[in-house]
Amino acid sequence: MSDNTTTSSATNRPIELWSGSTSDAKPNLLGRFLYLCWRIDWQLHATPFNSDMSNIVQEYARDFKPGFTTGVVIGLSQAWLHLSKLTVAEKSFEELSEGFRTEGAEERFIPMAPALGWFWMGLENDLRAAEAKKWLVAIGWGKILKQAEERDAAMQRVLAGHAVSYGSFIEEKPEYTKAKQKADARFIEDMQNWQRGGMKGHRPDLKDYQPQVCYAAA
């Protein structure tokens, strides 16, 4: 009885499409990097002409392996225009979170992966950012991009109405999951009937069942 209850509970659990946390419940690399960007952006806005970045190193360098120096922070701030685009993109992500959704948030959403691409181009165009680029490669720039791409893909499901964002994670809506499972079952049944009928007529195609999923989950 206990085993059946556990299995049923696991089956009914919402499908997680993206998580911003590691296995030990800490922010993933993308989240840590974006928070660092937000902190640099805030300080540059507060003290644009005489900004001492040593406090940022003391507060946040331990969050990365390897850590970073003041030279890295100064290098990152050379691309301030593009760094600010990252913070704006992050804000647009937060505005689509459950409990924080604002009017027009869907239209303002900015995917993070392309914004990161523009940021990297900004660093490449400034020789003063050489140390910052080496550090980003060392901590895993490719991993940051991959996590951003995965989050963007999950957010597209949110924008389509098939998932819900809670900020630190994104889950598929239970009604969409159920509709998808029913459509998969209909596809398998129709395919079996088509095979039993001598494979005559139109062959069932899984993509033809997607509109039914969207309609049922609406």
Range in 96-100, 103-107, 214-218 the model is least confident about: 214-218
Query: Average of pLDDT values for 53-63?
Result: 93
- The whole-model pTM stands at 0.80
Q: Give which of 81, 84, 152 is closest to 113, Cα–Cα.
A: 152
Query: Strand 169-172 and strand 163-165: pairing?
Result: antiparallel
Q: What pLDDT shows up at residue 114?
A: 97
The more confidently predicted of residues 208 and 160 is: 160
Instruction: Return d(Cα 146, Cα 181) in angstroms, integer.
Output: 28
pLDDT in tens, 6-42: 434 445 678 999 999 998 989 999 999 999 999 999 9
Q: What is the mean pLDDT of the chain?
A: 87
Is the pLDDT at 175 greater than 60, yes or no? Answer: yes
Cα distances (Å, whole numbers) of residue 6 to 2, 17, 138, 139, 174:
6, 22, 42, 39, 18
What are the residue boundaries of the structural domains of the chain, listed by start?
Answer: 21-161, 174-217
Output the six-digit token pair for 24. 């030990």
Q: What pLDDT shows up at residue 10?
A: 47
Query: Average of pLDDT values for 68-77?
Result: 94
Is the pLDDT at 59 greater than 70, yes or no? Answer: yes
Query: Average of pLDDT values for 83-110?
Result: 93
Output the six-digit token pair for 66. 């390897």
Query: Average of pLDDT values for 85-102?
Result: 93
Q: Where are the alpha helices (DSSP H) in 13-140?
A: 29-46, 54-60, 70-77, 80-94, 105-108, 112-124, 130-139
Instruction: Return d(Cα 49, Cα 146) in angstroms, integer.
Output: 35
Query: Average of pLDDT values for 67-74?
Result: 95
Q: What pLDDT shows up at residue 173?
A: 86
Please calculate the CA angle 19-77-135 and round it to the nearest 5 degrees: 60
